[in-house]
With several copies, the nearest count.
Chain A
Amino acid sequence: MGIIVGKETKAIVQGITGAQGSFHTKLMLEYGTKVVAGVTPGKGGTTVHGVPVYDTVEEALEKHEANASIIFVPAPYAADAAMEALENGIKTIVIITEHIPIKDSISVMAYACQVGATVIGPNTPGIITPGECKLGIMPAHIFKPGKVGMVSRSGTLTYEIAAGLTKKQLGQSTCIGLGGDPIVGLNFIEVLKLFEKDPQTEAVVLIGEIGGNLEELTAEYIVKEKYPKPVVAFIAGRSAPPGKRMGHAGAIIMGRAGTAETKIEAFKKAGVEVAEKPSDVAAMLEKILNDKLAR
């Protein structure tokens, strides 16, 4: 089980012949992900780690059945690659590429919405349902199957916290990196809805950061919908000075909303436990799940 990807996922890799695409195709295959084909324009007819490569998505899908795509295409062409996958009927798209222009991402999300597809990213480590399917670039060994759902705006910070969970034998149902860009496909609220319906998921870890107000809106959602599963949050950027730009637009502080303080405050008000440092998450979760068991 888990959400979005699992044993039934059959993926194509767009940009498979590039250094990152090829490297992570190997790792995904090793993990057991069903990678059925690759696409790189002009490289049709070759293979990468045994995976046949095609010039177009259309052609790949004529020869293979697939229901997901992971994109490693360079930023100027990545949005186009996503559109190609969407137009050809692929309903789950993971965009690893970073530095995609905002304008391009806006088009991709509008198209995805129109055709009813799920986009994860861009600028994301991807998604993993441990033991079933990894559609991403996360180091697999830090994850193990279990009952904690994870959703995060930050890549490496997710690994940090996932590693902590795994060390305490708290496995994960599915871990999703939403992506660090201002415009991304899936958001916290949509993922919370999916985790709610997933029987395997018993608790959720939510990793936010400064910038934007999606964490605040998520807190509102949790209150309003009386979200039934326990949520533990961590927010990065407590020490960030206001107005300074931290790495990408996703971290611009906009007015008073968007600071770590407003986000932490909003979650606490919503009854969500907020961890002070990454390693606290596992401990807090352990307690919550034990208490739940005791009840």
Chain B
Amino acid sequence: MKLLEYEAKRILAKYGIPIPRGGLAANIAEAREIAQTLKPPLVVKAQVPVAGRGKAGGILFAESVDDVEKAVNKLFNMQIRGIPVRSVWIEEKVNAKRELYFGMTVDRLNKTYVMIGSTEGGMEIEEVAEKAPQKILKFPVDPLYGFRLYHARQMAKRMGYSGNQLSAIANIFYNLYRAGVDYDAELIEMNPLAETPEGNFVAMDARIIVDDNALFRHPEFKERPLEGEFSPQEVEAAKNDLAYVKLDGDIGVIGNGAGLVMATLDAIQLYGGKPANFLDVGGGAPSEKIAAALRIVLSDSNVKALFINILGGITRCDEVARGILKAREKLGIEKPMVIRLVGTNEEEGKRILTEAGIQVLDSMEEAARQVVEVARRL
């Protein structure tokens, strides 16, 4: 779950990390009120959960309360990567002598967290990572003893800090780690972390992605609205514990297992078709979940034909078959369906569908070829 900038910043502040003075506004009145308590120059930032917001015009500057009103008006009439702006964070502009990067993410190879720091932070950090990897400091965390203050000092030291700055920035690094672990973050980062001309440090921007699988430990995010961040289909999918990603083609795809669904998309593309979505029902989906998957995919009006590709392991083919029938009955599906169904309880599944007059294929590639053909003819 991607948190918004202001949520991430409030968490950082709770862990003692300096952030610019600021406040959240959902309308002009609130914005003016907040702006009056702050010392210009100010920054007005659209709260949308997408990267590259700055380049898309989502960050504006203001010298006065009236300026802020103008900026907020502009942002509220804007969509960033298709997402409407519903709130803004207004804060005092930080004078950065230097922009650093500091974050934590998951280190798959070492099977632990990894802390990442760079003295060349800012919008181009990804370019730095690619072109000058030696400027990125990576520090895998001992999974038993964690990232400790002295590790933070070692990193700070390697990044060239000493004296009072050493302790100040090491504390920020250490507290970022604590926040990340406490909040089950897949990613937590400050980019940029500003060094001011006075030698202080302030987190100018912050990002947190909470591990979706750990949300049961964080009930505070349970009631968080998903609207605005995701398409209606994605919201519906999340509610049904389905993994859905909207794409721009016309063949609706449902499968079990991320790898198989990806390979299904690849096959459709290979035969010249264009998938309308990625939808993984996961392992062991009961019939209700299959029905929900069909409902979600079909709610996308671009979909001309449907491809259901199930290879049962923990998922049972009979459950899938029942789900398809349930959804067909309830939704009155008329769009053509190509179904491929093999694996656990395959015979029973095929029997159910065949008796209901639905044809079932054995080969995924043959099925992909057929669905591309069907969609092309429509």
Contacts and interface: CB of A to CB of B under 8 A. Distances in A.
Interface of A: 20, 24, 27, 41-42, 44-45, 55-59, 75-77, 80-81, 83-84, 87, 96, 98-107, 109-111, 113-114, 125, 136-139, 142, 152-160, 163, 180, 182-185, 187, 207, 209-210, 212-214, 217, 234, 236-241, 243-251, 255-256, 276-279
A110 B54 CA distance: 39
Contacts of A158: 259
B178 to A, nearest CB: 13
B267 A277 contact: yes
B166 interface: yes
A52 B150 CA distance: 19
Given A80-B150, A239-B269, 10 more contacts: A42-B162, A55-B157, A76-B216, A152-B259, A155-B314, A156-B259, A163-B311, A163-B342, A236-B263, A238-B266
A93 B31 CA distance: 55
B120 interface: no
B164 A42 contact: yes
Contacts of A81: 150
Q: Which of A55, A137, A207, A255 has the most CB of B within 10 A?
A: A55
B260 interface: yes
Q: Which of B112, B150, B265 has the most CB of A within 10 A?
A: B150
A234 B267 CA distance: 12
Given A56-B153, A84-B148, A246-B245, A45 B260 contact: no
Interface string B29-72: 00000000000000000000001000000000000000000000
B259 A182 contact: no
Contacts of B268: 239
Contacts of B144: 110, 114
B162 A251 contact: no
Given A20-B284, A182-B108, A247-B280, A102 B213 contact: yes
Nearest to B312: A139
B245 A277 contact: no
Interface stretch (B91-99, B190-198, B250-258, B351-359): B250-258
Interface of B: 51, 106, 108-109, 111-113, 126, 129-130, 142-145, 148-150, 153-154, 157, 162-164, 166-167, 170, 181, 184, 186, 211-214, 216-217, 243, 245, 247, 255-263, 265-270, 275, 278, 280, 282-284, 311-314, 342-344, 346, 363-365
Nearest to A212: B108
10 contacts: A55-B162, A96-B314, A103-B214, A105-B111, A109-B111, A155-B257, A155-B259, A180-B257, A239-B269, A241-B247
B343 A159 contact: yes
A130 B358 CA distance: 33
A236 B262 contact: yes
B128 to A, nearest CB: 11
Given A142-B343, A154-B258, A160 B153 contact: no
A157 B262 CA distance: 9
Contacts of B111: 105-106, 109-110, 113, 183-185
Contacts of B275: 239
A111 B150 CA distance: 15
A111 B145 contact: yes
A207 B258 CA distance: 13
B314 A24 contact: yes
Contact of B186 (A99, A111, A182): A182
B211 A101 contact: yes
B150 A56 contact: yes
Contact of A80 (B112, B113, B148, B258): B148
Contacts of A185: 111
Contacts of B258: 154, 180, 209, 246-248, 250-251
Contacts of B129: 255
A120 B363 CA distance: 29
Contact of A56 (B157, B245, B265): B157
A168 B267 CA distance: 21
A255 B51 CA distance: 12
Contact of B213 (A24, A100, A184, A251): A100
Q: Which 5 A-B pairs have the closest CB atoms?
A: A154-B259, A156-B257, A247-B258, A101-B214, A110-B143
A41 B243 contact: no
Contacts of B342: 139, 142, 159, 163
Nearest to B216: A76
Nearest to A43: B163
B184 A103 contact: yes
B109 A239 contact: no
A154 B213 contact: no
A213 B138 CA distance: 15
B274 to A, nearest CB: 9
A157 B263 contact: yes
A244 B278 CA distance: 10
